[in-house]
Amino acid sequence: MADTTEGTEAADRLESALTSRIDPGTLDEIAGLARQVPRAEIARLVHTSTPLQSAMLFRVLTKEEALDVFEDLPPAYQAELIGNLREPEVADIVEGLDPDDRAELFGELPASVASRLMKGLTPDERSMTSAVLGYPKSAIGRYMSPEVLGIHEDWTAAQAMEVVRARIDGPETVYLLPVVGPGRVLRGVVSLRNLLAADEDTVIEDMVRDSLSTHALTDREEASREFLSHRLIAMPVTDQEERLVGILTMDDVLDIVDEEDAEDLARGSGTEPLDRSYLWSTIIHLVKSRIVWLLVLAVSAILTVQVLEVYEDRLDQVVILALFIPLLTGTGGNTGNQAATTVTRALAVGEVRVRDLGRVIWRELRVGAVLGSVLGALGFVIAGLVYGWAIGLVIGLTLLSVCIMAATVGGLMPIIAKKVGADPAVFSNPFISTFCDATGLIIYFTIATTVLGLS
């Protein structure tokens, strides 16, 4: 803490900064000044400023400072501060920051403040309020139920049952109950079933069992997939200090997963997910969901025109070569998509990790070689019988090479996408097709030039 004279001076400057219009720029200044001002002074400012000012001032404190200030306030002022934090303007200002800046400027709020802030809100209000808590849209904290019944580890089973009964009509889930120690630190869970089965005098501490939990800032999809893959019925959510701030229930998780699945599926075929049902979407909506990807893909496909232009004179010499272009590019695209879909799924369910890249490439090389040998042999015979053995050889060798190339690229792309932090589904099928088309054509004409002795 700074010395008193400096502190008073800073307090004056802080007060004047607060009275100016608050925007992300002044917030930085306020945060800097608040660090130099004694806590008692800040507490005074918090409950004498206008609602918006007091809320923003409180919001720029570090978690520890915020807890101290909050605990120093008389209960009536505490309630008022919670009310101020709920002001829509506070949400707007916090939401208006970049997630990075927000994380840097604002810490999490203390668990006790956070949970009181969220009590008794409608889902809409809650979504607004959780912005104030500093949770970005992708964080599970946005979706948890903050109204969680925390059982204390030193209660008896009978005391716990009494609390459950008293809140049996509330909105909280009661089938899985998080157990907390001093300072709301999560200790584990007890199920209502265990509680009913237990002897009345059993202390909760002796029946608590470990539970998977997640941090409020964890990515919403990651937390949801873990929830589902462990077949949980509820999962406690904590802040960075393992204090209980909420609970995730099955309906929250299913909403998230439905949305993510729809998004992945749409992206995998080059569309943006629709925000309303198909028959309710306007034509313009449907067009918008498709046009961007279609344009990007069509522009990428100009690559294939340019590749073919390079080989235009070979095509002119042996026009028969043109007949096989759709067959060869189609087969390449199919092989690539098969590999990409398999690997994308394996990544999603955790069977393959980014560091397995080498193993995946080696597998897909061999799978592609086997697939290519079968298709190539067939292509050699059929094309050979119809168009002569030289053409047969070109087609056979091209199918072999294209399958190896496409399977490898298809297996590689989703892992690279994941490595650079992109959504594997976006990167995958349509792009792989286009990439394999262009590469396949180069392979085709290189083989044709050599085998047929063109120049």
Within 370-409, the residues that bind a copy of itself by CB under 8 A are 370-371, 374-375, 378-379, 382
Vertex 162: Cα angle to 216 and 113 (nearest 5):
30
Quick one: which segment of 22-30, 66-74, 200-208, 343-351 binds a copy of itself (CB under 8 A)?
343-351
Nearer residue to a copy of itself within complex by CB, 158 or 295: 295
Quick one: which of 54, 129, 202, 329 contacts a copy of itself (CB under 8 A)?
A: 329
Nearer residue to a copy of itself within complex by CB, 54 or 408: 408
CB of 291 to a copy of itself, least distance (A): 6
216-275 residues in contact with a copy of itself (CB under 8 A) are 228, 231, 233, 250-251, 254, 261-262, 265-266, 268-271, 274
Quick one: which segment of 26-34, 134-142, 207-215, 283-291 binds a copy of itself (CB under 8 A)?
283-291
Q: The tokens of 337 are what?
A: 């998509």
Q: The tokens of 388 are what?
A: 């002569």
Nearer residue to a copy of itself within complex by CB, 185 or 327: 327
Contact assessment for residue 401 and residue 369, using Cβ atoms and an 8 Å cutoff: no
Question: Looking at the chain, how many residues does it have?
Answer: 455
Q: Is 361 in the site for a copy of itself (CB under 8 A)?
A: no
Nearer residue to a copy of itself within complex by CB, 43 or 195: 195
Quick one: which of 21, 74, 275, 278 contacts a copy of itself (CB under 8 A)?
A: 278
Contact assessment for residue 408 and residue 343, using Cβ atoms and an 8 Å cutoff: no
Nearer residue to a copy of itself within complex by CB, 79 or 167: 167
Q: Can you list the pairs that 158-161 forms with residues at least 24 positions away whose Cβ atoms lie under 8 Å?
A: 158/200, 158/201, 160/190, 160/195, 160/204, 161/195, 161/196
CB of 361 to a copy of itself, least distance (A): 12
Nearer residue to a copy of itself within complex by CB, 228 or 452: 228
Nearer residue to a copy of itself within complex by CB, 302 or 422: 302
Site track 303-322 with a copy of itself (rule: CB under 8 A), x = hit: -xx--xx--x--xx--xx-x
Cα separation of 416 and 104, whole Å?
Answer: 29
Nearer residue to a copy of itself within complex by CB, 26 or 289: 289
CB of 122 to a copy of itself, least distance (A): 18
Cα separation of 275 and 280, whole Å?
Answer: 10
Residue 151, φ and ψ in degrees, nearest 5? -90, 135
* Nearest residue to 445 via CA among 309, 333, 337: 309
Site track 79-118 with a copy of itself (rule: CB under 8 A), x = hit: ----------------------------------------
179-198 residues in contact with a copy of itself (CB under 8 A) are 192-193, 196-197
Nearer residue to a copy of itself within complex by CB, 40 or 254: 254
CB of 378 to a copy of itself, least distance (A): 8
Torsion of CA 410, 411, 412, 413, to 10 degrees: 50
CB of 450 to a copy of itself, least distance (A): 20
Q: The tokens of 289 are what?
A: 């969901």
48 CA to centre of own chain: 40
* Nearest residue to 249 via CA among 222, 218, 228: 228
Contact assessment for residue 110 and residue 238, using Cβ atoms and an 8 Å cutoff: no
Quick one: which of 52, 67, 73, 327 contacts a copy of itself (CB under 8 A)?
A: 327
Q: Strands 176-180, 186-191: parallel, antiparallel or unpaired by DSSP?
A: antiparallel
Count of positions on this chain that bind a copy of itself (CB under 8 A): 93
Cα separation of 410 and 43, whole Å?
Answer: 59
Contact assessment for residue 105 and residue 27, using Cβ atoms and an 8 Å cutoff: yes
Q: The tokens of 98 are what?
A: 């970049």
* Nearest residue to 19 via CA among 56, 71, 70: 56
- The amino acid present at 166, given as its one-letter code, is A
Residue 440, φ and ψ in degrees, nearest 5? -60, -40
Nearer residue to a copy of itself within complex by CB, 153 or 437: 437
Quick one: which of 335, 398, 401, 439 contacts a copy of itself (CB under 8 A)?
A: 335
Nearer residue to a copy of itself within complex by CB, 349 or 420: 349
153-182 residues in contact with a copy of itself (CB under 8 A) are 164-165, 168-169, 174-175
Cα separation of 204 and 212, whole Å?
Answer: 18
